[in-house]
Amino acid sequence: MKASRMYYSQLKNYLDDLAGKKPAPGGGSAAAFSAALAVSLLSMVANFTVGKEKFKAVEAEIKKSLALSEDLRLRLLALVDEDVAGYKKVAAAYKLPKESAEDKKKRGVEIEKALKEALAAPFAVCKCCHQAIKLCPVLAEKGNVNLVSDVGVAVVLLESAFQSGLINVEINLNGIKDQGFIVEIRGALEPLQEEAQELKETVWPLVKNKMKPIA
Binding to a copy of itself, residues 13-32 (CB under 8 A): 13-15, 17-22, 25-31
**Residue 34 contacts a copy of itself per CB under 8 A:** yes
Whether 117 and 26 have beta carbons less than 8 Å apart is answered as no
Can the peptide bond before residue 25 be classed as cis, meaning omega within 30 degrees of 0?
A: yes
Interface with a copy of itself, residue 47, by CB under 8 A: yes
The answer to whether 170 contacts a copy of itself (rule: CB under 8 A) is yes
Question: Which amino acid, 189?
Answer: L
Q: Are 28 and 125 in contact (CB under 8 A)?
A: yes
Residue 67 sits in the site that holds a copy of itself (CB under 8 A): no
Should residue 78 be labelled a site residue for a copy of itself when binding is judged by CB under 8 A? yes
Task: Kindly state whether residue 125 participates in binding a copy of itself, applying the rule CB under 8 A.
Answer: no
- Does 48 help bind a copy of itself (rule: CB under 8 A)? yes
> What is the Cα–Cα distance from 51 to 41, expressed in whole angstroms?
18
Q: Among residues 59, 143, 163, 197, which is the contact residue for a copy of itself, using CB under 8 A? A: 163
Give 50's contacts (C-beta < 8 A, 6+ positions apart): 59, 62, 63, 66
Q: Rounded to the nearest whole angstrom, what is the least distance from the CB of residue 4 to a copy of itself in the complex?
A: 4
Mention every residue, 6+ apart, whose C-beta is less than 8 A from residue 8. Answer: none
Task: Work out how close the CB of 60 gets to a copy of itself at its nearest, in angstroms, rounded to a whole number.
Answer: 18
- Smallest gap from residue 54 Cβ to a copy of itself (A): 15
Cα–Cα nearest to 77, from 118, 25, 143: 25
Of residues 62, 135, 139, 157, which one binds a copy of itself by CB under 8 A?
A: 157
